[in-house]
Homo-oligomer: A and B are copies of this chain.
Amino acid sequence: MKLTSEQQEIIERIGVFFERKGNQPILGRIMGLLLVLEKAEATFDEIQDYLSVSKSAVSNALTLLQTQNKVEYTTKPGERKRYFRLRVRSWRLDMQEDLEGIFRINVLLKDVLAARSSQNRDFNNCIFEFQSFIEFMRIEMPKLIEKYDQQNS
């Protein structure tokens, strides 16, 4: 089975997206592949074939994706192969973590302020204001998520 050029293009774009988050290229492409395949799953060697990468690269990538809870596998009775697929359910948590990651500058800025004398009031204030803004967002974000869940229940 071959991928359409539309599928290939999406895989590359998703690859780049995850690569920019600090993952190695193959990880993103595997995610893309599993998103794009109709069955939404693939065996080890299918992944190898579709993406034309080496066994070891696939093995390492899958191990990583599994420890990151992004991928899991099932087996089928009487078959030795594993069928790998995305754990889409966990993505919302992943995204919340990503957001937390952005907001984590907050902690650093608090420490910066603690380490600074009160000498340069203007600058300190500037930092403080930004830091308050993040604190606000950090507190409101969970409320927003709650709101969403109430709307959709």
Residues of A participating in the B interface, judged by any CB pair closer than 8 Å: 6-7, 10, 13-14, 17, 20, 22, 35-36, 38-40, 88-89, 91-92, 95, 98-99, 101-102, 104-105, 108-109, 111-112, 115-117, 119-120, 123, 126-127, 130, 132-134, 136-137, 140-141, 144-145, 147-148, 151-152
Q: By CB atoms of chain B within 10 A, which of A104, A105, A134, A141 has the most?
A: A105
Q: A35-B127, A92-B133 are in contact. List 20 more A-B contacts (CB 8 A).
A: A14-B108, A14-B112, A17-B108, A20-B22, A22-B22, A36-B115, A36-B116, A38-B116, A38-B120, A40-B120, A40-B123, A88-B127, A88-B130, A89-B126, A95-B105, A95-B134, A99-B102, A132-B152, A133-B148, A136-B151
Of the residues B108, B109, B120, B144, contact of A137 by C-beta under 8 Å: B144
Copies of the protein in its oligomer: 2
- Top 7 nearest A-B pairs (CB, nearest first) are A40-B123, A88-B126, A35-B112, A136-B148, A98-B102, A91-B130, A140-B144
The dominant DSSP class at the A interface is helix
A133 to B99, CA, bound (A): 14
State A35–B108 Cα separation when bound (angstroms). Answer: 10
CB neighbours (8 Å) of A14 from chain B are 108, 112
**6 A-B residue pairings within 8 Å (CB atoms):** A14-B108, A17-B104, A35-B112, A39-B120, A40-B123, A132-B152
Quote the shortest CB–CB distance from A113 to chain B (angstroms): 9
Verify B148–A108 contact, CB threshold 8 A.
no
